[in-house]
Amino acid sequence: MCITAMAIVIQKEVGIPPRPEGARLPAHLICEKGTYMVNEEKYVEDITDQDDNFSKWYNQIVRKAELADYAPVRGCMIIRPYGYALWEHLQHTVDTRFKENDVENAYFPLLIPQSFLQKEAEHVEGFAPEVAWVTRGGGEELEEPLAIRPTSETIIGHSFSKWIQSYRDLPLIINQWANVMRWEKRTALFLRTSEFLWQEGHTAHRTLEEAEARTRLMLDVYRAVAEEDAAIPVIAGRKSENEKFAGALRTYSIEAMMGDGKALQSATSHNLGDNFARGFDIQYLDADSQRKYCYTTSWGMSTRMIGGLIMVHGDKSGLILPPRLAPYQVVIVPIWRKEKEREAVLDMVNRVEKMLKGKVRVKVDRSDNTPGWKYNEWEMRGVPVRMEIGPRDVQNNNVMLVRRDNRAKEPVPVEALETRLPELLEELQKALYQRALEFREQNTHTTESYDEFKEIIAEKRGFVRVKWAEDSAAETAIKEETKATLRVIPFDQPEGGVQGKCIYTGKPATCEAIFARSY
RNA sequence: CGGGGUGUGGCGCAGUUGGUAGCGUGCCUGGUUUGGGACCAGGAGGUCCGCGGUUCGAGUCCGCGCACCCCGACCA
């Protein structure tokens, strides 16, 4: 909301050109006062074009940028230091926001007794195909197989039932940072790996209303992380019955549009009602001396978000990381010709580095590679701002700043850096958000005709917003006929209710829903 | 789990009718270089995915596995 308004203002100031429909990249570059025009060309020749083969581009970028590698075990990934640093920044902002909302961290075991998983009927059924089992230990068959957690509702529910005695123990608001494992048939780095890192929050409440409020509150935290930190505009809303979490009363999610128009569920928040409380006997003694079941919630965000970052912001030169999450916000490239220059340049580099340390995340590339090589390398790795320091800059006591998103150049006096650089990073942060928002808006369609719906899904991709009567069978049929799924029923609905007929059944519509093909 | 594809130095690839493996890039050493992926010279690096078969001889032909990628069905 407020970030959007700010972003629009910023957009006017710096003049981000609107992206042509369907295009991944702005075809123009900014040429403001004090900036330099750069030729638009493809500097990095060995990256697959996004428009040519988006998933190939994605895979190449993940590996070339050294975010992750394939592991020797199918479907598993190795997160490399650069990718892990990104995750740590994401973790940090999420964790900070959690703690502002009374969340406490804890840790529960990786292994879950088989019997636990079976205590919630829908839950077992939903997860059964994806669970990996440990059946041997200490050289012997185990008496009871142990599941490698696909999620921890059950084992945490077990603890909750012991910890909660009275209404005075509520609400209980716990989070854990953990790995989980879901045996996936088809995997992709970050987006869907058999093992992945995430956080899972679990809460218990006195009333359903309070549980609902917490569910919505945490979804809004995810919304804020996505929009403000990851610069990814998302649509928040409710999942359909077909798409909700196994065992939940209601599931909410934030959905983002990737650069190829497909949707990515970026985080989910579930109101579990009293389903798990009944399964795990999570009861409390209320003020009226009655024993009552708690209402529980769970909510999670995973390393998948990194996949989202890559696919939302990346361009044909590689990654573009939002400044607030980028492992390096600025990379300094020293340039010289003669030995004398080298000394002066490195002096200045050291001075600038020292000045900026602790204020922005700065990396100096002191390798022997040529400046041109470094430009391409760090652009590919998505560093938001490049700082060039060469003999000319030493002479003028300024540095050259170059934005990753549009390559706009800007000479800045050294003494102005401490104020200008953070400012520039914020401008970039907002511009990325704005660009992604415009892309999403250009690729969000509305229609009342199912034929047109099919055509849009098949040819244009993107989101399709339609009138909907919340019919589960119709949803399944649409999925079979078009491969599009109901991503989310947005909170943002027309004022005064929806008028008209459901796009598929023709029944009176009860809401507007977003359909898309998804990851 | 179905359909398709690919497995050859770290990465990307070539390898003809079967004759004992090569190119680009990266890596190491030395030197010259550095404002958009520099250059020269020297060098290291391969059980050609695995197993079996055909053959005097297999990266190449045949069979059986395995892995990975892409497209579907299932999912954060």
DSSP state of A129: G
Check residue A20 and give its pLDDT: 29
Per CATH, the number for A2-50+315-441 is 3.40.50.800
- Buried (b) or exposed (e) across A371-409, using 16+ Cβ within 10 A? eeebbbbbbbbbbbbbbbbbbebbeeebbbbbbbbbbbb
Is the distance between the Cβ of A382 and the closest atom of strand B smaller than 7 Å?
A: no
Measure, in angstroms, how far nucleotide B71 C1' is from residue A89 CA.
Answer: 35
Is the CB of A130 less than 7 A from some atom of nucleic acid strand B?
yes
A214 in Cβ contact with A101 (< 8 Å):
no
Closest nucleotide (C1' vs CA) to A55 is: B70
Residue A487 neighbours by CB distance under 10 Å = 27
At A113 the pLDDT is 93
Please identify, in words, the CATH class of the domain defined by A444-516: alpha beta
User: How many Å apart are A72 CA and B47 C1'?
Assistant: 20
Least confident of A62-71, A227-236, A286-295: A62-71
**Which is more confident, A133 or A220?**
A220
Hey, what are A35's tokens? 């900036």
Phi and psi, residue A151, nearest 5°: 180, 165
The per-residue pLDDT for A46 is: 66
- Assign 3-class secondary structure to A7-71: HHHHHHHHCCCCCCCCCCCCCCCCCCCCCECCCCCCCCCCCCCCCCCHHHHHHHHHHHCCCEEEC
The amino acid present at A289, given as its one-letter code, is S
With beta carbons less than 8 A apart as the criterion, state whether A112 and A147 touch: yes
Q: Is the pLDDT of residue A27 over 70?
A: no
Nearest residue: Cα versus C1' of B25: A46
The CA-CA-CA angle for residues A503, A504, A509, to 5°, reads 50
- The CA-CA-CA angle for residues A228, A233, A239, to 5°, reads 115
Q: Is the CB of A201 under 7 A from strand B?
A: no
Helix residue ranges per DSSP H, A65-127: 81-99, 114-117, 121-127
Find the Å distance, CA of residue A2 to C1' of nucleotide B63: 67
Q: Cα–Cα–Cα angle for A151, A75, A436, nearest 5°?
A: 80
Give the residue among A338, A53, A297 at the shortest CA–CA distance from A170: A297
Nucleotide nearest to A184 (CA to C1'): B75
Crossing angle of helices A81-99/A304-313, nearest 10°?
110
What pLDDT was estimated at residue A43? 54
- Picking from A42-51, A102-111, A442-451, which range would have the lowest pLDDT averaged per residue? A42-51
Provide mean pLDDT across the span A111-121: 90
| A340 CB neighbour count, 10 Å cutoff | 10
What is the rounded average pLDDT of the residues A434-457? Answer: 94
Which whole number is the average pLDDT over A141-155? 92
The vertex-A209 CA angle with A205 and A214, nearest 5°, equals 60
- Alpha-helix residue ranges (DSSP H) falling in A183-262: 208-224
| A60: nearest nucleotide, CA–C1' criterion | B11
- Stretch (H or E) spanning A353: helix A339-356
Tokens coding A272: 């579990």
CA pair distance A376, A378, nearest whole angstrom: 6
A485 C-beta less than 7 Å away from strand B: no
One fold for A70-110+150-313 and A444-516: no
- Model confidence at A44, in pLDDT bands (50, 70, 90)? low
With CA atoms as reference, report the closest residue to A272 among A424, A488, A385, A126.
A126
Mean pLDDT of A74-92: 92
Could you read off the pLDDT of A283-342 as tens digits, one per residue?
A: 999 999 999 999 999 999 999 999 999 999 999 889 999 999 999 999 999 999 888 899
- Is the C-beta of residue A302 closer than 7 Å to nucleic acid chain B? yes
| Chain A 213-232 residues in 7 Å CB range of strand B | none
Which one, of A433, A476, A492, lies nearest residue A237 by Cα?
A492
Closest by CA position to A10, among listed A425, A442, A443: A425
Confidence of residue A278 (pLDDT cuts 50, 70, 90): very high
Query: Which class in CATH covers the domain with range A70-110+150-313?
Result: alpha beta
- From residues 307-366 of A, which are strand B contacts by CB within 7 A? 317, 335-338, 342
ipTM of the prediction: 0.87
Q: In angstroms, how far is B4 C1' from A135 CA?
A: 36
* Cβ of residue A74 lies below 7 Å from strand B: yes
Mark out the alpha helices in A207-317 (DSSP H runs).
208-224, 275-280, 304-313
Q: How confident is the model at residue A23 (pLDDT cuts 50, 70, 90)?
A: very low
- The set of residues, in sequence order, having a beta carbon less than 8 Å from that of A292 and lying 6+ positions away, is A206, A283, A284, A285, A286
- Tell me the average pLDDT of chain A: 88
| Nucleotide showing the shortest C1' distance to residue A400 CA | B35
- The 10 Å Cβ neighbour count of residue A118 is 14
Residue nearest to nucleotide B69 (CA to C1'): A56
Count Cα atoms within 13 angstroms, Cβ side, for A356: 26
**What's the whole-number mean pLDDT along residues A16-32?**
30
User: Is strand B less than 7 A from the beta carbon of A184?
Assistant: yes
Chain B: nucleotides under 7 Å from a protein CB? 1, 33-38, 67-76
- pLDDT per position as a tens digit, A392-439: 999 999 999 999 999 999 999 999 999 999 999 999 999 999 999 999
Sorted by where each begins, the domain ranges of chain A are 2-50+315-441, 70-110+150-313, 444-516
Question: Residue A266 in contact with residue A304, Cβ under 8 Å?
Answer: yes
Establish whether the CB of A196 is closer than 7 Å to any nucleic acid atom in strand B. yes
Distance CA A62, CA A377 (A): 13
The two three-digit tokens of residue A448, written as one number: 């009342």
Q: How far apart are CA A105 and CA A368, in angstroms?
A: 44
How many angstroms separate the CA atoms of A269 and A297, rounded? 7
The residue whose CA lies nearest the C1' of nucleotide B33 is A337
User: Position A331: which residue type?
Assistant: V
Q: Is the CB of A42 under 7 A from strand B?
A: no
